[in-house]
Structures are given as structure tokens and as C-alpha cells.
Amino acid sequence: MTLIQLIVLAIIQGITEFLPISSSAHLILAPLVVDGWEDQGPLIDVAAHVGSLIAVLIYFRSESAMLFRGGIHTVLMKPSDERRLFLFIAAATIPLLLAAGLIVATGALAYLRTPEAIGLASIVFGVLLWHGDRRSSSHEGLDRITWRETLSIGAAQALALIPGASRSGVTMTAARYLGWTRAEAARFSMLLAIPAIGALGLFAGIEIIRSGANATMAAAAIVAVLSFVTAFASIAALMALTRRISFAPFAIYRILMGVALLAFAAGAFG
């Protein structure tokens, strides 16, 4: 794998992980679009996600500290706002873990990594993002989250295992359908990324052990660092944009990408 490919993959991961446009779809498609590029394999995927995880932990360091304290308060059975937030994030992650375990056990992921499946998912969830974003906002403040909302968003996050669906995209879409503001939806989605990325990284690590890594640790380190830098910038940009524009540009991009992928799969480009 060349240095250029590593750099491009790291930038793709960093930019797309937290934008509602599906990082996994872009990472899977890059080797298909560029001639001569091999599939990066699970080790590079893990490295890219580690960089993104560190970025969200640092950018949301106050919330990350709250979650850490909430975990301690949960163990000690101490009621607190931190414990409440920790339990909400934990509960919303359970559907994703269950779905990931099912996919790993059945080997269904291979059937979801095709250009046709990714293109269709990009279009469908892009339309839902656009439609959900048109809802009026009546929900302000994460301190007003309910268990029903938490579990609804968690169930939607499980759909992120479909390449092209976008973890951030489906969680923000669900939150917008529930009446959350764009900034609040984006913030909660970022916090959900902490256990989600960690859990998916664990599954990828299991895959590495089972099949063997096809990349060096030096290459993985390069990807992790570059992914961190671009992810941090991406988070900052998204949080600023949520206060100025709608999610419509992201929805349009997803639909156009999906159409292009379906055309590519059908051989329209040669």
C-alpha cells in the first residue's frame, strides 16, 4: 500500500466519520474507484477509527469527562447528571452491539459492501436525512433527553452497520425526527461515537486476529495521526455549520453519490 493511499484514506476517514455522509462507504469505495489500489484491510480501518475516536474525546473533553465520571457513579450507584448521561449513552449503544454481533456471526457484512448496496443505502438514508431535517425543532438541552428518545436513536444507530447508511447520519436523522435542534442532534451523535467507534474497533480487532493484518504498524500509525487531525477539523466545522445551515447539502451529496455508485455498478462508466 502506497503512502499516497494511506494519506487519502486517513483524510477520507477523518472528514467523513462525523459528517452524515458515511465514512465506511467512502473507505470501501476508494480502492474500487482508483485503479491499482488494494483494499486497506481491517488494521488500517481500526487505525483510522482510533484517530477519529481520539479527536472526539479531545474536542468534547468536557462531555467525555462527564461520561467517565458517570461510569464511576454508575458503579458506585451514586445518582447524578453524569450517571444519567452515561446510562443513556450506554443504552443507546446496545442495539448497535447486538446488530454487530449478529452480522459477524452470520457473515452478512460481505453482502453489504457492494457498490449496489452502498449506493442504495446512500440514497435511502439521504432522503430520510433531508425529510427529517425539515421537522421543526422543539427540543433544547441534553438534560431533557428521555429514555424513549435514547432508545429510538440507539435503534437507528444499529442501521449504521450498513455501509452507506452513516452512523452520524442515521443518529442525527432520528434526533431531527424527534424534534431536536441540529446542534443538539450533532452533539449527541458525537457522544454516541465514543462507545460506538470503540466497539466497532473491537470487532475489527477480532477480525484482524482471525484473518491476519495486511498492513504494517507504521502505516497504521500514519493513518491514525492523519485521521485525528482531519476528524478534529471536521467536528469543529460540523458544529459550526449546524448553527448556520440545514443538513440539505449533505443529503443532496448522499443522493448524488448513491446515483453515481449505482451507475458505476451498472457499468455506465465503462
Q: In the chain, which stretches have pLDDT less than 70? A: 1, 31-33, 35-43, 138-141, 200-201, 203-216, 268-270
Are 20 and 129 contacting, i.e. CB atoms less than 8 angstroms apart? yes
- The pLDDT tens digits of the residues spanning 194-247 come to 998 887 667 666 666 665 555 567 777 888 899 999 999 999 999 999 989 999
Report pLDDT for 197. 82
Give 139: exposed, middle or buried? Use CB within 10 Å, 0-12, 13-18, 19+.
middle
Are 18 and 49 contacting, i.e. CB atoms less than 8 angstroms apart? no
DSSP 245: S
C-alpha 9/C-alpha 30 separation (Å) is 8
pTM strictly above 0.85: yes
C-alpha 21/C-alpha 187 separation (Å) is 16
> What are the residue boundaries of the structural domains of the chain, listed by start?
3-76+93-223+246-265
C-alpha 110/C-alpha 91 separation (Å) is 28
Are 25 and 168 contacting, i.e. CB atoms less than 8 angstroms apart? no
